[in-house]
Amino acid sequence: MPSRPRIPIHARRVPARHGVAWLRGGWTLFRQQPLAWLLIMAACFLSGLLISLLPVVNLLSGVLYPVFWGGLMFAAHRQHHTGKLTPRDLFAGFRARFASLALLGLLAMAAMLLTVLPLIVTGGASLLAHPFAYGDALAAWNGLSLAGLFVACVAGLLVWLTMGAALWFAPALVMLAELEPLAALRASLSACLRNPLAGLVYGALSGVLLVLGCLPLLTGLVFVVPVLTASAYVSYRDLFIDA
């Protein structure tokens, strides 16, 4: 494994234009080893398909997501240092730092539960009380139900966005910098909060690329997905290493 870099506790701030640079860097990594990247993404897709077919393992698919993502970050990191990568790199997270990466997945699943729980509670209460309300009471209850549902949706969205930011760099920080899961989540969230404009530019352009990749019968995603994956490593390196 390439040497582990010493990273600062807090990511640096970068201007909005770095969101474009991250995508350019991802394209550069892909262009250097296109066949290897396509093989890695094919292995990732087949692994996900296999997991979905196994009933018990499928329940834990969310736990394994950071493990695979850590392997993808390791692959990009190895290419950056050695110019080489292989499909075997995808499974690096199973060979090293598995417990810490899997814990990230457990925390993500818990956050998702927190996201949907308010909606379940709000909707369930509305269904239980609705048959017993009539006239003005029914109109008032409907208004309260809609207000409660709106608050639950906003709260769920905030939890989802916060956890997404906390998880964005966390697998790379656990896998490559050997941070503990909670420290990696805090560092990732801090990096996203310190660079909102670069993140918005990167997210918007990534969304455009995904839409364009879907247009020719999804065939463009074969190239867009590995570029975006490599660009995630480039963004990690820009914020935490190339300070």
| pLDDT surpasses 90 at 54 | no
Length of the chain: 243
* Listed range (54-58, 70-74, 150-154) with the worst mean pLDDT: 150-154
pLDDT band at 4 (very low <50, low <70, confident <90, very high): low
CA angle 175, 101, 227 (to 5 degrees): 60
Of 31 and 241, the structure prediction assigns the larger pLDDT to 31
CA angle 54, 55, 59 (to 5 degrees): 105
| pLDDT surpasses 60 at 143 | no
Q: Are 104 and 66 in contact (CB under 8 A)?
A: yes
What pLDDT score was predicted for residue 127?
A: 44
Q: How far is Cα 139 from Cα 188, in angstroms, rounded to an integer?
A: 45
128, exposed or middle or buried, with CB in 10 Å at 0-12, 13-18, 19+? exposed
> Given phi > 0 = left and psi -120 to 50 = alpha, else beta, which region is 178?
left
Instruction: Express each pLDDT in 109-125 by its tens digit.
Output: 887 777 777 666 655 54
Q: Are 74 and 93 in contact (CB under 8 A)?
A: yes
